[in-house]
Amino acid sequence: MEVEDAAATAAAEGAEESKSAGDGQLSIHLHPLAIITISDHYTRVSTGGGVPPRDAKILGVLFGERSGAEIGIYDASEIGYDVVGGEIVLSQASVAKQVELYEAVYPTYKVLGWYSVGLEPCPSDIKLQQQMKTHCANPIFVLLDPEPPKDAKALPVTVYQSEDQAGGGGAAATVFVQGSFQLQTVQAEQIGMEHVARSTPAEGSSAIERHATTMTTSLTALASRLAVLRRYLVAVRGGDVPADHKLLRQITAVTSELRAMGNASGSGGGDAALSEALARDRCDALAVTALAALQKGAAAMDAAAHKFNLAHSDKPRTGGGGGPRGGAGL
From residue 111, give the alpha-carbon distance in Å to each of 7, 90, 273, 290. Answer: 12, 15, 67, 64
Q: CB of 33 within 8 A of CB of 75?
A: yes
Pairing of strands 172-179, 157-166: antiparallel
CA dihedral 31, 33, 34, 39 (to 10 degrees): 130
Give every CB contact of residue 13 below 8 A, 6+ residues apart in sequence: 110, 136, 137
- Mean per-residue pLDDT, 256-266: 54
* Number of Cβ within a 10 Å radius of residue 58: 19
Phi-psi region at 170: left, alpha or beta (left = phi > 0; alpha = psi -120 to 50)? left
Q: What is the pLDDT of residues 197-253, one digit of tens each?
A: 666 665 666 677 788 888 899 989 988 988 999 999 999 999 898 989 998 998 888
- Mean per-residue pLDDT, 288-316: 80
From residue 102, give the alpha-carbon distance in Å to each of 63, 98, 106, 110, 180. Answer: 8, 6, 6, 8, 26
Give every CB contact of residue 159 below 8 A, 6+ residues apart in sequence: 28, 30, 140, 141, 142, 143, 178, 179, 180, 181
Phi-psi region at 68: left, alpha or beta (left = phi > 0; alpha = psi -120 to 50)? left
pLDDT bucket at 260, cuts 50 / 70 / 90: low
| CA–CA separation, 125 and 72 (whole Å) | 22
C-alpha angle 236/243/273, rounded to 5°? 75
Nearest CA among 57, 199, 189, 35 for reference residue 117: 57
What is the model's pLDDT at position 68?
A: 84
* Number of Cβ within a 10 Å radius of residue 51: 8
What is the model's pLDDT at position 210?
A: 80
What is the model's pLDDT at position 252?
A: 87
- Mean per-residue pLDDT, 295-308: 85
The DSSP string of 201-266 is -SSS--HHHHHHHHHHHHHHHHHHHHHHHHHHHHHHHTTSS---HHHHHHHHHHHHHSPP---TT-
pLDDT bucket at 167, cuts 50 / 70 / 90: low
| CA–CA separation, 160 and 19 (whole Å) | 19
> Within its chain, how far is the Cα of 188 from the centroid?
20
In order of their start, the domains of the chain are 2-199 (3.40.140.10)
- Statement: residue 129 has pLDDT above 80: yes
What is the model's pLDDT at position 321?
A: 47
Nearest CA among 152, 160, 153, 143 for reference residue 76: 143
What is the model's pLDDT at position 174?
A: 81
What is the model's pLDDT at position 185?
A: 81
- Mean per-residue pLDDT, 60-76: 91
| CA–CA separation, 118 and 144 (whole Å) | 6
* Number of Cβ within a 10 Å radius of residue 128: 21
Q: CB of 128 within 8 A of CB of 57?
A: no
Burial letters 170-192, b for 16+ CB under 10 A, else e: eeeeeebeeeebeeebeeebeee
